[in-house]
Amino acid sequence: VISHFPNHVELTRKDLMVKNIKRYRKDLDKEGNPLAEKDENGRYIHLDFIPQTFMLPADYNLFVEEFRKNPNTTWIMKPCGKARGVGIFLVNKLSQLKKWSRDSKTSNFTPPTSKDTYVISKYIDNPLLIGGKKFDLRLYVLVTSFRPLKCYLFRLGFARFCTVKYNASINELDNMFVHLTNVSIQKQGDDYNNVHGGKWTVQNLRLFLEGTRGKEVTDRLFDEMQWQIVHSLKAVAGGISNDRHCFECYGYDIIIDDNLKPWLIEVNASPSLTSTTSSDRIMKYKLINDVINIVIPPGQVPDVRWNKIPAKEHLGNFDVLYDEELAQQDVMGGDPRKLGPGTFRGKRDGSRPSPATWK
């Protein structure tokens, strides 16, 4: 049993994830699938869940054209092959990007390769704030098969908070303690708390939002996040080498804006399993234990006949998020929000997943 699919980078490299989701939307559009419906401004109504993104240097001219249409927009630049916030910076002037390009060339810059590729995305400059601070979500998703798609959502995800209150002014663009939630960055700050590590559980976040925004909109938010996860996996399913010996636990990073709209930021192939607090250690122990219980048959040695469909009592803190084999048995209605050829397990009418998954 191997803990990665051979070409998982189709989902976990920032540029390839964006490329695959864009292609997925275009393919659905060509098919006339109502999931690809657009509004009067040409934006996808149901599949608009990644920020507008360009690949650099390949899309530089397209980016400049877009930048000049909206010169007051802030963008975030990320190297595709790095993690933990390394190499990320914010841009609100073209001159900053040109300076970066010049600095790269004077620092033994070599011709662009896959490792040199960057993505530049429209920065979510209206994040939902709690206590005045920006946060994002780290959610764990276990995939045991891409064809047919079988995925599980871990209930014990968490929110990661910045240590410094959010400030969108240009004077704070370089302050990563304001803008980046990565623990590897935040723990270097003077305000980092070693007791709670700047984290909330997903359950506590949900309770807070139900109390401040209402249960209905909170249900819709968590419902939407599940929707995004499933469709990001569907977007890459055709390009992933579906080896039956493989499984993978992904770390999904999602940010919520002040309209309670979730945005998929990136997917991590090797989410950190190190712990910064005692509660973090307990949660990650449960994660590892539950993954093993799902992918390894009880009291047996895995072989090609093991289909990795565990009994309900072996799911632990995971819930079945999507099972394509079950989905194909469902009869779909006309609701464009339904998942086309599939549906979420347990929702026989083909509607979106039950928010109970998160409770």
pLDDT in tens, 198-227: 889 999 999 999 999 999 999 999 999 999
What residue numbers bound the domain in which 23 lies? 9-49+126-358
Q: Residue 49: its pLDDT value, please? A: 96
Q: What pLDDT, on the 0 to 100 scale, is given for residue 277?
A: 86
**Where a domain ends, among 80, 96, 123?**
123
Q: Say yes or no: 270 and 181 in one domain.
A: yes
| CA atoms 210, 212, 214, 218: torsion sign | negative
Residue 1 placed within a domain: no
Verify that 158 and 292 share a domain, yes or no: yes
Q: Looking at the structure, do residues 44 and 56 belong to the same domain, yes or no?
A: no
- One domain for residues 56 and 173: no
Residues 30 and 58 grouped into a single domain: no
Predicted pLDDT at 301: 66
pLDDT value, residue 85: 64
Q: What is the dihedral of CA 103, 107, 108, 113, to 10 degrees?
A: -60
Q: Specify the pLDDT at position 80.
A: 86
pLDDT at 204: 95
Domain total in the chain? 2
pLDDT for the residue 16:
95
Residue 189: predicted pLDDT: 61
- The reply to whether omega before 127 is within 30° of 0 (cis) is no
| pLDDT at residue number 345 | 36
Nearest to 138 by CA among 78, 184, 181, 179: 181
Amino acid present at 219: D
What CATH number is associated with residue 236? 3.30.470.20
Quote the CA–CA distance of 74 and 121 in Å, as a whole number.
9
pLDDT digits 0-9 by tens, 117-130: 899 999 999 999 99
CATH number at residue 65: 3.30.1490.20
Residue 3 belongs to some domain of the structure: no
Question: pLDDT under 70 in the chain at which residues?
Answer: 83-85, 99-116, 187-195, 197, 300-308, 329-359
Dist. CA 80–CA 118, nearest whole Å: 5
Which residues, at least 6 apart from 138, have a Cβ–Cβ distance to it below 8 Å? 157, 158, 159, 160, 251, 252, 253, 271
Looking at the domain assignment, is residue 88 inside a domain? yes
Residues 94 and 230 in one domain: no
Strand partners, 75: 91, 122
Q: Say yes or no: 89 and 137 in one domain.
A: no
